[in-house]
Structure 1
Amino acid sequence: MIESSINMNEIKEIAESWTYEAAAKIKREMNESYSVDTKADEHDLVTEVDKSIETFFADKIAKQYPGHRLMGEEGSFKDIHDLNGVVWILDPIDGTVNFVHQRTGFAISIGVYQNGEPLVGIVYDVIQDEMFSSVKGQGAFLNGVRLADLYESRLDRSLISFNSGWVLQDRRLEALIEQARGMRSYGAAALEIAYVACGRLDAYISFNLAPWDIAGGCAILREVGGVASDYEGKELSFMGKGTFLAANPGVYKEILHTVHTS
């Protein structure tokens, strides 16, 4: 088995400890003055807090696990061209727009992958103090309480989450709006995937996500029987941006059928 050479439970415990430490750092820094910049898209924000948290994890990983590599949103991804060995896939603040504008609704997201396989998942809601976590083959947890496996639900009984702007790019999403029980949008991919895993949502769709947006959540979702792929139903690569669909297994099938027959 690929994970035999490393202690997954130890990594999970250490990752959680670092995450709580990073969260305390975020809370301190968000109450001080910090700079806010934009990336290629003027609505894609980055703050010096994002950058300092990535540096925090980079230093910790380099010292504790010198053989591991870091793929982080704020620059370290540039050195990662494959998922060979152990790679920590990090979003230091997932939901930066929420962080800047609302001061809530954001998370630290970590997926620890070995040769492309998820071993450990962490999604931590900093303000709500909700720690979603998983270890491969051992289940997923919310604040230490094991999450139940997902049962197959139906689209007409489901809550689905996606940004309303995606409807302008694919009008087939209107069929989902018509059929689903309700729609939500939280603005933080990692949290929305975690919400699918714990049953608060039944599906989440996005058309432009990077590996660090989804790696932690996908590791957690897999442990409860959820399904994740691109919008066409193809396997995720975790090596570039693309479309994304995460869902309860029953709803997943209905969504693919609905959007590809509309």
Structure 2
Amino acid sequence: MDSLLREEIFKQAIEWVMEAGNTIRDKMNNPLDIETKSNANDLVTKLDKETEQFFVAKIKGKYKDHFIHGEEGYGDNPTSLDGTIWIIDPIDGTMNFVHQKRNFAISVGIYHEGVGEIGLIYDVMANTLYHAKKGQGAYKDDVKLQPLPKKKNINEAIVGMNHFWLCENRLIDEQVMQSFVKDIRGTRTYGSAALEFAFTAEGIVDGYISMGLSPWDIAAGVIIVNEVGGSTTDIDGRPVNLLEKSAILTCNTAFQKDILKYLKKGRK
């Protein structure tokens, strides 16, 4: 992508993200009209849908040749990463949004011909924007994030994890994961994949493992983590497919081999 075009799209995307965030804060205490999707814990609200519709209208109005891949299905449902694609989660962490009114984010990843160009993760209630442009580093608001440190032992790592590795259809052996948890310094669960990626990039956690994330959960975070020297793969260490749901590891590369070793050992 041309650098001037990237800068234009970056500024425009931030404007739309901040506008959407303001609307969410204004409306979040209104009746939410909560529905379920794949199961009782997979929630969607009227505001999720309205926020994605807002982005679709804005993007299609200004960038008619761009594609949109969004969680709520108002985009184009692309089958390839050709062209310019906005991968959007209007409210990442809807359960947190419904129950806690905090710890949720707007996530926007913009890819051109399969290359991550712009990543935006907006922590709506904290009014904090994590952002990155390809090759220009990552930022938390106006503060540039430092490259992740390279010399650490696995027993110093704090890793974001959720409960899904304990579920009946888990991909990883439970005893192996128990051993992993004992060998690292600690675990954290925030309930928003986008924020887990942002916190990994910031270095306040050293990685994040999830057994099933969709493209809109990770698209922005992959770009931001890359810009501080981190890495994102599936749990077998392979490149992420941004058109499919995957089990994901994003982390400081200092821990990547060690974490993948545990995951491979416990792989069913």
Distance 1:5 1:221, change over 3 A: closer
Query: What amino acid maps onto 2:220 in structure 1?
Result: G
Q: Distance in 1 between matches of 2:247 and 2:78?
A: 20
Question: Is the CA contact (8 Å cut-off) linking 2:71 and 2:216 kept in structure 1?
Answer: yes
Question: Is the CA contact (8 Å cut-off) linking 1:167 and 1:174 kept in structure 2?
Answer: no
> Which residue among 52, 59, 77 is the counterpart of 2:57?
59
* TM score, norm. by length of structure 1: 0.96
SS at match of 2:116: strand
Question: Is the CA contact (8 Å cut-off) linking 1:175 and 1:259 kept in structure 2?
Answer: no
Superposed counterparts of 1:1-262, under 5 Å: 3-4=1-2, 7-76=5-74, 79-152=77-150, 153-168=152-167, 169=170, 170=172, 171=174, 172-261=176-265
Question: Is the CA contact (8 Å cut-off) linking 1:159 and 1:184 kept in structure 2?
Answer: yes
Count the aligned residue pairs. 260
Question: Is the CA contact (8 Å cut-off) linking 2:200 and 2:252 kept in structure 1?
Answer: yes
Give the aligned CA root-mean-square deviation in angstroms.
Answer: 1.3
SS at match of 1:87: strand
Q: Deviations over 1:66-96 (max 9, x none)?
A: 1111111001356311110000000000000
Query: What amino acid maps onto 1:226 in structure 2?
Result: G
Structure 1 moving runs of 4+ over 4 Å: none
Identity of aligned residues (%): 39
Runs of 5+ consecutive residues of structure 1 not aligned to the other structure: none
Question: Is the CA contact (8 Å cut-off) linking 1:92 and 1:109 kept in structure 2?
Answer: yes
Query: What amino acid maps onto 2:84 in structure 1?
Result: V
Question: Is the CA contact (8 Å cut-off) linking 1:134 and 1:141 kept in structure 2?
Answer: yes
Question: Is the CA contact (8 Å cut-off) linking 1:89 and 1:110 kept in structure 2?
Answer: yes
Query: What amino acid maps onto 1:211 in structure 2?
Result: P
Q: Deviations over 1:77-124 (max 9, x none)?
A: 563111100000000000000000000000000000011110000000
Query: What amino acid maps onto 1:82 in structure 2?
Result: S
Question: Is the CA contact (8 Å cut-off) linking 2:164 and 2:211 kept in structure 1?
Answer: no
SS at match of 1:245: strand
Q: Distance in 2 between matches of 1:137 and 1:165?
A: 34
Shift of 1:258: 2.4
Q: Distance in 1 between matches of 2:262 and 2:90?
A: 35
Question: Is the CA contact (8 Å cut-off) linking 2:233 and 2:248 kept in structure 1?
Answer: yes
Q: Distance in 2 between matches of 1:147 and 1:9?
A: 19
Shift of 1:201: 0.6
Distance 1:5 1:124, change over 3 A: closer
* TM score, norm. by length of structure 2: 0.94
Q: Distance in 1 between matches of 2:88 and 2:45?
A: 16
Question: Is the CA contact (8 Å cut-off) linking 2:130 and 2:140 kept in structure 1?
Answer: yes
